Structure 1
């Protein structure tokens, strides 16, 4: 009974906290643009999360806590920048990081955040543990009401309801008399139907559904982290895990709350009476086949690298056909080089982790071939980067082209780490790859991609006299300072004025937005455009 009482008290607290989070989510995001609201909600959610799990998790600065850094930084981009592309991407990236962080916090050290098993853990947490607790709020509320309404109290409730029913006709008569006696009271009563008519029932129902959905989702997820189903293996011959609800939950050390473990290992079998445990044999590719394959592939890549050195590094571009320009040469091969690079990365990973390298001589030979593959891939990445640079000089800069440049640099870093892995078997690739991916994504968010695009196009205009102001006018407010610089330095350029007018029309009017939608980039653009005289379009 004591254990049930502690669970019920904890459940009520988590349910109330989830409901408050649902109300706050509605207050911050309903009919409001995302801005300051995003980091505020993330802070409140994590306060609620750590309060809910305080009996099971010691709150201290450890490895899982480090994941909060990119979550906080990405949340702040909704306040500091106005890039629509990253706003959409971050709306997907931040929840994914939150899932990884919260699950890792609760399941550590049984699971590693950078391992492939984390994907399975996320799916399991959402579709098994969380979905199981979706109806729990309704059940908890029903049980709470049922327990409170005992025999004596239920009689009092019925008496209160009877009093309400009896009072209704008397209130109507008395109200009519008072309305006749006092003009102001009559005016107040006459306004009640209009006030009630102003209520939009459809919108009110939608708001209620919004709050209930968010509160239920948050409660089910957190409660599923606290009390997951027990997964057991029935026997050694049947290694497939089965979910079971039977059995008493085990109590967490140092807490008064019972906690069902996410995984329960089977009892150790008797080696004399039990059969050998089932262990699937890893499939390995034959080293001779892979070596032959790499020899042929590297021969093609070495020839390609020679041509690249001839044209890009040896002055061979002078011998291009007359009908082909720099930009044409760059444009025709860039996409293909990126695809080949991705193929090479796949070949590299498959060879490292899926090839039989039991022979020491064959292992060394494979390492050399893979090193050649990485070297040739490096030449391809340099060639792709130079092609894109030529294309940007010929046609201008764009957000997509700049992100492609960043992606090439990112791939280069991955291949450098893979080269280190070739000669250091103790290095695990997944962890540094995951860290670099998160760090790179945060850096790209904070490098103001659209601001760099606008700045480079303005600089290109100074040397070429060519600029696409229509495209610059379609960028986010991060490009406003560079458009203002372009207008001030070249007042004769009509396109800059039109681009700034386009930006100004996108700004919300005073009073149209709430403080929860505050965005620093938008605020700076509004202040800057106030002091710039613009020619109104007729």
Structure 2
């Protein structure tokens, strides 16, 4: 790839280097907190500066994705949850890349079609190729004014060093494991050459990786669009025979009809046969039902998208069978919801159980829309699924789920006298606030006093950098400092 750079490109490279430093400072110094919001602000400031005067496409949907990105970044500074903390490390960058490719693509490119995924991966591949070409440009710049023979020699030495590093690392590790005296001697070498800190070298490598990732991607998006794969109409070559699909749907619906009869007999009539308690029965079947419900949704989507229903009779029969499948799935979803409710009533509230409840409600919305899609063909499944999933996930990040769980458990304690302080302590700062509320209600609850004292010692001794600033943590520290534990 031949690359020609002007003065503005070099200025942009310098800005990407600043972004690389900001990324390393934000994500690799301490726990992520307000630093994610700061980085997103800097990143999009550079992006909009580079693309000033550029006409963006898919603007309405682009703004929705952008708002969700900002809200997810803000959630890091409001409260902390281990699950969302880990997921957002991957999801936010993925959404940023999706948003950048979306708003810089042609208006004629439909984002809800598989062709857009192909376009996105072509852009990522082009980023890699661009950086290789840019390295070649840098090599030519360094080569100017240098003797050709000396340049070749230093180039070969550099390649040899790069090849040797992993080999030397493996061999050195093995030799140090084999001889303790050699290990001690090698351990003293860094003290003799304290010129450059190894940590600083690794941080600079991280900065450069981020720099070229940002520079390459944004340069590729700014340059000419990829037009080779753009198609106004996306034709599906893969089709499923209608008779085969109808046969499968008839058999599945027959099985679900029997299951629905059992569910009404057991749950909806208020009776339960066998040796199981309600809690045991709920725990035994919840995940199985949820998994079957997901299978049903997959079958429905496959039939709607790939079954050939050109004949009117086949089309109507398929719609009826799919409607029956969706309604059966609704019964299963209701059964799973009741099972989880009974299990929660018996054993209390947890983060996972709350998320399962919310996911089932989300699935109910998905199934309702799918039911409309069965009879209204012009509706787009992927369009709705993607937007609703994005809004659901963003909403779950903004809602303090752990606070809701703590509140529910305290309400349960007031009604039944049952509480699990150890579980509350396993939560983040919302759990700490819940323990303090419990202690104020009843200081004699076993274990609460000790847990609070331990938390107070840990939080007061912690030194947290600006990157990890979090509103919920600050609130917990202030309340703990005021709390008198006797």
> Which TM-score applies when normalising by structure 2?
0.84
Structure with greater contact order relative to length (CA < 8 Å, sep ≥ 6): 2
1:43-192 equivalences under 5 Å are 43-58=41-56, 62-126=60-124, 128-141=125-138
1:122, distance to aligned residue in structure 2 (A): 2.9
Conservation of the 8 A alpha-carbon contact between 1:50 and 1:59: no
Q: Distance in 2 between matches of 1:485 and 1:470?
A: 15
Q: String of CA shifts for 1:200-223, please: whole Å, max 9, x gaps.
A: 521221222122221111111111
1:436-455 equivalences under 5 Å are 436-455=388-407
Aligned pair partner of 2:315 in 345, 355, 363: 363
Is 1:10 aligned to 2:8, yes or no? yes
Is 1:294 aligned to 2:249, yes or no? yes
SS of the residue corresponding to residue 494 of structure 1 reads: coil
Is 1:474 aligned to 2:426, yes or no? yes
RMSD: 2.8
Number of equivalences: 439
Corresponding residue for residue 381 of structure 1: 333
1:55, distance to aligned residue in structure 2 (A): 4.5
1:305-454 equivalences under 5 Å are 305-317=260-272, 320-321=273-274, 323-454=275-406
1:449, distance to aligned residue in structure 2 (A): 1.6
Is 1:213 aligned to 2:168, yes or no? no
Q: Distance in 1 between matches of 2:96 and 2:440?
A: 45
Give unmatched runs, 5+ long, in structure 1: 151-195, 228-258, 267-278
Structure with greater proportional helix content: 2
SS of the residue corresponding to residue 67 of structure 1 reads: helix
Q: Distance in 1 between matches of 2:25 and 2:287?
A: 45
Conservation of the 8 A alpha-carbon contact between 2:76 and 2:85: yes
Is 1:522 aligned to 2:473, yes or no? yes
Q: Distance in 1 between matches of 2:228 and 2:266?
A: 62
Is 1:42 aligned to 2:40, yes or no? yes
Conservation of the 8 A alpha-carbon contact between 2:260 and 2:332: yes
1:265, distance to aligned residue in structure 2 (A): 7.3
Corresponding residue for residue 411 of structure 2: 459
Q: Which of 418-427 and 204-213 deviates more?
A: 204-213
Q: Distance in 2 between matches of 1:294 and 1:333?
A: 23
1:471, distance to aligned residue in structure 2 (A): 1.3
SS of the residue corresponding to residue 461 of structure 2 reads: coil
SS of the residue corresponding to residue 314 of structure 1 reads: coil
Q: Distance in 2 between matches of 1:61 and 1:426?
A: 22
Q: Distance in 2 between matches of 1:140 and 1:461?
A: 68
Q: String of CA shifts for 1:472-504, please: whole Å, max 9, x gaps.
A: 101011223222111111111032223323433
Q: Distance in 2 between matches of 1:289 and 1:207?
A: 58
Q: Distance in 2 between matches of 1:281 and 1:408?
A: 31
Conservation of the 8 A alpha-carbon contact between 2:29 and 2:467: no
1:281, distance to aligned residue in structure 2 (A): 7.3
Q: String of CA shifts for 1:428-448, please: whole Å, max 9, x gaps.
A: 111111000000001111221
Conservation of the 8 A alpha-carbon contact between 1:378 and 1:412: yes
1:97, distance to aligned residue in structure 2 (A): 0.5
Q: Distance in 1 between matches of 2:301 and 2:480?
A: 52
Change (3 A) 1:113 1:479: farther
Greater Rg by CA: 1
1:35, distance to aligned residue in structure 2 (A): 1.0
Give unmatched runs, 5+ long, in structure 2: 147-191
Conservation of the 8 A alpha-carbon contact between 2:58 and 2:107: no
1:144, distance to aligned residue in structure 2 (A): 5.6
Conservation of the 8 A alpha-carbon contact between 2:286 and 2:339: yes
Q: Distance in 2 between matches of 1:446 and 1:346?
A: 29
1:466, distance to aligned residue in structure 2 (A): 2.0
Conservation of the 8 A alpha-carbon contact between 1:129 and 1:225: no
